[in-house]
Amino acid sequence: MVSDLFPVTMAGARTSRRGIVLVGPIDLTLEGQGACVVIGPNGSGKTSFLRMLHGAARLTGGSITWGCPTPEARRRQAFVFQRPVMLRRTVEQNLTYPLIVHGVSRREAQSRARQWAGKVGLASMLDRQASILSGGEQQKLALARALITRPKLLFLDEPCASLDGRATREIEEILQSTKAEGTRLIMSTHDMGQARRMADQVLFLLRGKLHDQGKAPGFFDRPGTPQARAFLRGDIVE
């Protein structure tokens, strides 16, 4: 029997590099619904927070406890980076690779690859080399490759940072559909319009600490700290 991934509880969790604390200590409990959007100034620790929670950054203090054993929790997560990491293969091969690694037959993997390519608008590009896709197409491929394994939780690190408005809208539509189908999203963004459109919950990080949090849209209307209010106004916050 597969146990539930959530809630996940961080108790004094922190991660460091060369003796410098990048983020933490953080005390936080997250439930398993909707989209949690992480905001804050550049250098506030957003990426390190996501990587620490996902297990890609080593925990150097405190604890992170999932609703199921940690190895099972890791298997049921996926991570989409700000700059998509493409295999030097075709679109179809990029999509089938994670399935084959997980023991799915090649025939089933190819069927699911075609299905997901259609979902993200890449159906006509299955034989194209991933390296020659546009930035928006690569990000859609990265999303499809993450979602094809049916994760319970998807991390996204500023997934639309370098995309134009049309590509951003298409990515957000995929994410809204993914959220509606029950996948938990935890994502960082520097785009406050995107944060307002996507968020069910907001975390505001400042200098590596969880400085404020709340449910959307109430957080955007009534942030709880002067620093969060200043950030949302567009002021420089240090």
pLDDT at position 180 over 60: yes
Mean pLDDT of all residues in 19-27: 93
Q: Residue 28 above 70 pLDDT? A: yes
> pLDDT tens digit string along 120-159?
889 999 999 999 999 889 989 999 999 999 999 999 999 8
* CATH numbers and ranges of domains, the chain: 8-83+135-233 (3.40.50.300), 87-132 (no CATH)
Backbone angle region of 158, left / alpha / beta, with phi > 0 → left and psi within -120 to 50 → alpha: left
Residue 223 has pLDDT above 70, yes or no: yes
Whose CA is closest to 141, among 164, 125, 157?
Answer: 125
Relative to beta strand 61-65, strand 8-17 is antiparallel
- At 3 the pLDDT is 56
- List the beta bridge partners of residue 153: 77, 184
Residue 211 predicted with pLDDT over 70: yes
Q: How sure is the predictor about 12, in pLDDT bands with cuts at 50, 70 and 90?
A: very high
- Is the pTM higher than 0.95? The answer reads no
Torsion, Cα of 50, 176, 130, 89 (10° steps): 70
